[in-house]
């Protein structure tokens, strides 16, 4: 989800931000908070990465929760789930390294 961008002018001295619209005489200045678009984009990228990681971990937990080993096969099942968990963690670690800094 991207929010709408508004182009404005920022004073390099005091930091005042003004929109590029002419005043019609009824304006009132109010305190507002802004973030730079690049900071917003980075936050969205980090959010997307976190969601992706959460989905991968949730899939692993679902598999673990819904797996019932066959009689006498609990150890083999456990080891297979453990190996999948290791691969998932390696994938997540690689994604963190190649994602935004």
How confident is the model over 38-72, as pLDDT tens digits?
999 999 999 999 999 999 999 999 999 999 999 99
Q: Where are the domains of the chain?
A: 8-98
Q: Per-residue pLDDT averaged across 34-39, rounded?
A: 88
pLDDT at 92 over 70: yes
The pLDDT assigned to 86 comes to 95
Q: Is the pTM of this model over 0.85?
A: no
- What HEC string does 27-92 produce? CCCCCCCCCCHHHHHHHHHHHHHHHHHHHHHHHHHHHHHCCCCCCCCHHHHHHHHHHHHHHHHHHH
């Amino acid at each position: 989800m991207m929010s709408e961008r508004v182009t404005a002018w920022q004073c390099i001295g005091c930091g005042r931000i003004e929109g590029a619209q002419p005043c019609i005489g009824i304006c009132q200045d109010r305190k507002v908070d802004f973030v730079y678009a690049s900071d917003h984009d980075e936050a969205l990228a980090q959010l997307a990465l976190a969601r992706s990681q959460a989905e991968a971990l949730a899939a692993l937990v679902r598999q673990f929760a819904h797996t019932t080993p066959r009689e006498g096969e609990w150890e083999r099942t456990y080891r297979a789930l453990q190996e999948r968990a290791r691969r998932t963690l390696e994938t997540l670690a690689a994604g963190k390294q190649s994602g935004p800094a």
